[in-house]
Amino acid sequence: MNLIRSKISLMVFFASLLSCVDIDNEGDDSEQLGQDQSDFDLSVLFKHFDESVNIYIEGNNIVIQADGVPGHKSPYFPKTVDLSNGGYYYWIDQDSDGTNDMWSEGDNSFRQNPNFIAEQNYTFRIPIKPSKAKSPTQTSLGPIGVSINGVPFYNQYEGPNTATDLIVPGQGVARSLDGSTGHPAQQGRYHYHMIPDSLLFSTEDNFLGFAADGFPIYGPKNLDSLNVSGLDDCNGEYGPTPDFPDSIYHYHTISVAPYIIGAYCGDLSNWRQ
């Protein structure tokens, strides 16, 4: 997860001291989702967010502030300082070997896009008490949620033409995704389109972040260590999770499109970015 960046952050800190879909057809899930969500304390999930992310409650919202820089290595960090555009793109070289400490090389099938990762100034607001919408809302381009390391989730499309812009593993634009299934857009906005493997625990059932409607997103497996099945059209279900053993409505990432969520099950009126 964010071990590399956390270690680097600590080194910088000490150095500074020294120097100075129709859900209604899904049966039980929809009935349970219609219940009062105030029984669920989403603040229990705050502990999963990286130290680089500032998360707190403000009124009826959860506020998530992040710089959008992942804590794992990627080919999309500029390898050498001359590629950092004067520090605009994220650069750190604690061992002074001339190579970005966060840079890694892509595999033979990787086709890097021309962008590099840059720090952002994200402030996301989601409801602290998510509620079911009258009908699902389709996702759009841009952030559809935020992960535990502050990197936004995007949907399964690279562009507005859904017929040709669907991201398919191993094909086309999917080859520009790094080992964590992310890549940066213009202005260095790094984001995930698929399951971010670098954020998964070995059990693959852990909390990965929030969708824009406030419902939590989990990995591709349930508590029984089996791949999820029987999800609704939004990639969601009502059931137990590691954080909510008494069950809550939540999304699961899956290995085929739409990958993160299929649509928003919840109300989006509180979503801000």
Cα-based distances in Å from 183 to 88, 178, 188, 258 = 17, 6, 9, 17
Confidence of residue 12 (pLDDT cuts 50, 70, 90): very low
Which 8-state DSSP code applies to residue 261? -
Cα-based distances in Å from 176 to 70, 189, 271 = 17, 14, 29
Write down the pTM of the prediction: 0.86
Domains in the chain: boundaries: 3-266
Residue-wise pLDDT for 122-134, tens only, equals: 999 999 999 999 9
Confidence of residue 207 (pLDDT cuts 50, 70, 90): very high
* C-alpha to C-alpha distance for 218 and 198, rounded to whole angstroms: 13
CB 151 within 8 A of CB 68: yes
Across the range 104-116, mean pLDDT stands at: 93
Residue 13: per-residue pLDDT = 40
Q: Which H helix or E strand runs over 29?
A: helix 28-33
Three-state DSSP at 186 gives: helix
Which is nearest to 178 in space by CA: 193, 163, 189? 193
Q: Which of 19-23, 85-89, 259-263 has the lowest mean pLDDT?
A: 19-23
Across the range 252-263, mean pLDDT stands at: 96
Q: For residue 198, which amino acid is it?
A: S
CB 68 within 8 A of CB 152: yes
CB 202 within 8 A of CB 192: no
**Alpha-carbon torsion angle 268, 21, 152, 230, nearest 10:** 120
Q: Pairing mode, if any, of strands 61-66 and 152-153?
A: unpaired
